[in-house]
Amino acid sequence: MAIVGGGVTGCACALRLAEAGKRVRLFEAREIAGGASGRNGGFALRGGAPAYDVARRELGAERARAFWLLTERYLDRLEQLAGDAFRRTGSLRLAADTAERGELEAEYEALREDGFAVEWRDQLAEPLGGRFDGAIFYPSDGSLQPARWVRRLAALAVEAGTELREHERVESLEELDADQVVIATDGYTRGLVPELDAAIKPTRGQVLVTEPLERRVFPCPHYARHGYDYWQQTEDGRLVAGGFRDKAADHEYTAKETTTALIQGYLERFVAELLGEEPRIDYRWAGIFGTTADRLPLVGRLPGNDRVWVSAGYSGHGNVLGLTCGELVAGAILGAPAPELELFSPARLLGG
Chain positions contacting ligand FAD, by CB under 6 A:
4-10, 27-30, 34-37, 39-43, 45, 169-170, 184-188, 192, 205, 207, 242, 287-289, 312, 314, 316-319, 322
3-state secondary structure 280-313: CEEEEEEEEEEECCCCCCEEEECCCCCCEEEEEC
Name the minimum Å distance from CB 10 to ligand FAD.
6
Q: d(Cα 125, Cα 16) in Å, to the nearest integer?
A: 43
Q: Which is nearer to ligand FAD, 29 or 110 (CB)?
A: 29
Alpha-carbon gap, residue 223 to 241, rounded angstroms: 10
If the CB atoms of residues 25 and 109 are measured against ligand FAD, the closer one turns out to be 25
159 Cβ partners below 8 Å, 6+ apart?
A: none
| Residues 46, 138 contacting (CB under 8 angstroms) | yes
Least distance CB 79 / ligand FAD (angstroms): 15
Which of 186, 179, 172, 180 is closest to 298 using CA atoms? 186
State the virtual CA torsion across 7, 9, 14, 20 in degrees, nearest 10: 160
Return the closest-CA partner of residue 104 out of 132, 128, 131. Answer: 132
CB of 27 to ligand FAD, least distance (A): 5
Q: How far is the CB of 123 from ligand FAD (least distance, A)?
A: 26
Is residue 287 within 8 Å of 205, Cβ to Cβ? Answer: yes
Q: Is 96 helix (H, G, I), strand (E, B) or coil?
A: coil
Residue 50 or 316: which CB sits closer to ligand FAD? 316
Quote the least distance from Cβ 81 to ligand FAD, whole Å. Answer: 15
**Min separation Cβ 319 and ligand FAD, Å:** 3
Minimum CB distance to ligand FAD smaller for 151 or for 301: 151
Residue (99 or 164) nearer to ligand FAD, CB: 164
User: Of 99 and 302, which has the nearer Cβ to ligand FAD?
Assistant: 302
Q: Alpha-carbon distance 261 to 283, whole Å?
A: 14
